[in-house]
Chain A
Amino acid sequence: MAPRTPGADLPEHPDWLWHSPDPKPSYDVVIVGGGGHGLATAYYLAVNHGITNVAVLERGWLAGGNMARNTTIIRSNYLWDESAGLYEHALKLWEGLEDELDYPLLFSQRGVLNLAHSLQEVRDGVRRVNANRLNGIDAEWLDPHQVAEICPILNTSPDLRYPVLGATWQPRAGIAKHDHVAWAFARALDRMGVDLIQGCEVTGFERVGDRVVGVNTSRGPIRAGKVALAAAGHTSVLADTLGLRLPIQSHPLQALVSELLEPVHPTVVMSNSVHVYVSQAHKGELVLGAGIDAHNSYSQRGAFHTIEREMTAAVELFPMFARAHVLRTWGGVVDVTPDASAIMGLTPFEGLYVNCGWGTGGFKSTPGVGWCYAHTIACDEPHPLNAPFSLERFTTGALVDEHGAAGVAH
């Protein structure tokens, strides 16, 4: 009997959710960055505006940057009207996204607690709850007993060095499975004929005067009617090739997971002042995020002392976590703005659009960004929801200061 080929009995590989075509010579729109924002933007360009002659260019692999590295928290409890509009629009889209994309996103509205550990944080929290309610966003102020009812494993005893004095509570907040979100958008885009091109790094732009007419890439030049940046921490590198300065600084942001544990943590807990945010993924690992490392960096690595500090806070707040183990830590490159709000809109270059500065909080806004950025690109003017987030605000002074709601990271 002839020896059988190893693997001959294995089934065929299932259908790919998306393909990796070679780039065409030109597109109506080229999106630079194949993360969540780039994919969602391409999706709403197709669905809301009928534009499908689009390429999404990704220098690495699809959704392998911050989309694969975030802590998947989704919420809309920001202070200012401008942010409330944008983040709440995103949250409403999240609430219908599984049906829209016909793909399980494991979107779980388990609520978020933003803890207050000082009287000032209590005042800020109550103010934010009131602001949220005025904007039609679900929000409550909870005292420590109510906090303990929602999250019994949280140490709400007054003996803590920084005791929990209360918390804001947004019940509709939650988490989703970040990879599934990217895959769902990618599958939908592939079916609509949008080219998702991986391993294609944009190295510069083709210009005619002040008009951007294409990109130069590691796989050759590509002409484009419009070019939309969605490159997060690497946006400065791209903008520098045009001499366009942006008020962003790229920093490492780290996160980590524990081993798989029984379900113990029913919600999402964030604390600005002790620097930690925690949820438990569906699979069972505790997912913890830290604040940014202070220095600029493109290394996708942060310092150990940042992780150590975050662990200290986590164990203080959740004594039972002391027996858990850190399974894996990683870092991403986040682009931080001076007012902790994003930059979305037009640029001084015709045919070039910018979406950056989401810093530590881009995941939650993924569908909202897609919706508004697609409008900005298709109509050549900002959607009303992202108009306040223009590049010009740094000159006019109309900043959208969300350092409080953004907290340690968001």
Chain B
Amino acid sequence: MMLIPCPWCGPRNEIEFHYGGQADVHYPSDPRSTSDEDWAHFLFFRDNPKGVFTERWSHAAGCRRWFTVHRDTVTNEIHPDDSASAARTVTR
């Protein structure tokens, strides 16, 4: 069981959350000129590190807001995202 730090509700049990996968996956800026390969990477390819992963969670059974954390995929050690771009934690 993981305690996940919701930026608004504090650390809560994992069962209250919905997983959103890798953070900062952006829709292609120019879809009309995006190659098949780049579409494939946008749709299907995600980082899969053994170590720290920057990922999205939604506090589905709480405040229902999305946020970003850094979690170690081996130890499950988890840190809130307090980087300069933390504004993205509002929603997607």
Contacts and interface: CB of A to CB of B under 8 A. Distances in A.
Q: Do A and B come from one complex?
A: yes
Interface of A: 234, 236-237, 240, 245-250, 294-299, 303-305, 338, 394-397
Contacts of A299: 73-76
Given A295-B55, A298-B50, A305-B14, A250 B73 contact: yes
A396 B40 CA distance: 8
Contact of B44 (A234, A297, A298, A338): A338
Interface of A is mostly: loop
A249 B48 CA distance: 6
Interface in B1-44: 1-2, 14-15, 18-19, 21, 36-37, 39-41, 43-44
Contacts of B41: 245
B36 to A, nearest CB: 5
Contacts of A305: 1, 14-15
Given A295-B2, A297-B73, A396-B36, 19 more contacts: A236-B48, A245-B45, A246-B48, A247-B44, A247-B45, A247-B46, A250-B48, A294-B19, A295-B19, A295-B71, A296-B53, A297-B74, A297-B76, A299-B74, A303-B2, A303-B15, A395-B37, A395-B39, A395-B40
Contacts of B36: 395-397
Given A395-B36, A396-B36, A246 B73 contact: no
B26 to A, nearest CB: 16
A249 B49 contact: no
Question: For chain B, which range describes its interface: under 10, 10 to 19, 20 to 34, or 35 or more residues?
Answer: 20 to 34
Q: Which 10 A-B pairs have the closest CB atoms?
A: A236-B48, A294-B19, A247-B44, A395-B40, A298-B50, A338-B44, A394-B44, A394-B40, A247-B45, A237-B50
A294 B39 CA distance: 24
Given A249-B21, A304-B1, A240 B73 contact: no
Contacts of A237: 50
A237 B73 CA distance: 12
